[in-house]
């Protein structure tokens, strides 16, 4: 293969950039971006810790006062890099640290599983009324379920996180639902992955029927609880 002086120069430049990237990683834009991405993910995971602690405190306070836990358990997750990139692309945005912060609300997510429907609203109300929490958006899929039967209360909140040299308001998505709603959503999520089913409408109809049966059970369990603890005397956290 004949190489011109120009090719040689190009190759030399590529090698030089590569060696520079290894020798001086702090001057390499890709490595810089990766570092900023890692730092942002660290910030989101700290925001999750802040909100998790707030919810743990509410649950502990409630259990001491009323001998009952409104929260059964809490799950949390940071959105995976591939899902972040896919969601940004679907919104027509380039993948950058700035676009993640300004366009995505659910990089940090918590799922709060409550015992009864009333507990969902009590926990949400106590969380968003805290001085340092800003409510950005609330979607009540319990009073207005999705057409497929999905039920949950979704909150997008901002929480300040105190880092070593600065404070930053971080966005967190909080999904609050009962054990029954969570049971349905988990199975719905699993089943939705399989696309090539024989009769999708029949399946959707049956799933919707299950969601309605489960919802009815949630209402009955709430009534039973009210019979035991008293209706208006529903202890507010």
The residues carrying an active-site annotation are 173
Per-residue binding letters, 159-188, with ligand GTP (x by CB under 6 A): --------------------------x--x
How many CB atoms are located within 10 Å of the residue 209 CB? 11
How far apart are the C-alpha atoms of 50 and 46, rounded to whole Å?
Answer: 6
Contacts by residues 94-99 (CB-CB < 8 Å, ≥ 24 positions apart)? 96/33, 97/33, 97/36, 97/37, 97/40
Q: Per-residue contact track with ligand GTP, 126 to 155, x per CB under 6 A?
A: -------------x------x-x-x---x-
Region 93-112 residues binding Mg ion, contact defined as CB under 5 A:
106
Instruction: Pick one of 49, 77, 189, 209: the residue that binds ligand GTP (CB under 6 A).
Output: 189
Least distance in Å: CB of 90 to ligand GTP? 8
**Residue 65, binding choice from ligand GTP, Mg ion, none, Cβ under 5 to 8 Å by partner class:** none
Q: Are 51 and 172 in contact, with CB atoms under 8 Å apart? A: yes
Tell me the CA end-to-end span of the chain in Å, nearest whole number.
Answer: 78
How crowded is residue 227: how many other Cβ atoms within 10 Å of its Cβ?
9
**Residue numbers of the site for Mg ion (CB under 5 A)?**
106
**Residue numbers of the site for ligand GTP (CB under 6 A)?**
106, 139, 146, 148, 150, 154, 185, 188-189
């Amino acid at each position: 293969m004949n190489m011109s002086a120009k090719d040689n120069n190009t190759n030399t430049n590529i090698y030089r950039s590569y060696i520079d990237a290894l020798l001086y990683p702090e001057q390499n834009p890709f490595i810089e971006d990766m570092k900023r991405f890692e730092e942002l993910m660290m910030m989101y995971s700290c925001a999750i810790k802040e909100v998790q602690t707030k919810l743990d405190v509410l649950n502990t306070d409630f259990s001491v006062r009323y001998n009952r836990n409104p929260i059964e358990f809490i799950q949390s997750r940071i959105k995976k890099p591939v899902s972040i990139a896919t969601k940004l692309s679907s919104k027509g945005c380039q993948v950058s640290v700035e676009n993640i912060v300004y366009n995505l609300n659910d990089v940090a997510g918590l799922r709060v599983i409550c015992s009864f429907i009333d507990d969902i609203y009590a926990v949400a109300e106590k969380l968003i009324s805290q001085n340092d929490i800003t409510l950005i958006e609330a979607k009540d899929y319990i009073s207005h379920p999705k057409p497929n039967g999905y039920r949950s209360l979704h909150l997008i909140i901002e929480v300040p996180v105190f880092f070593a040299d600065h404070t930053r308001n971080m966005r967190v998505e909080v999904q609050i639902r009962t054990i029954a709603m969570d049971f349905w959503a988990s199975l719905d999520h699993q089943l939705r992955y399989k696309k090539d089913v024989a009769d999708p409408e029949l399946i959707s109809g049956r799933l919707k029927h299950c969601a309605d049966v489960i919802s009815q059970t949630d209402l009955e369990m709430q009534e039973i609880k009210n019979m035991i603890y008293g209706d208006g005397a529903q202890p507010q956290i």
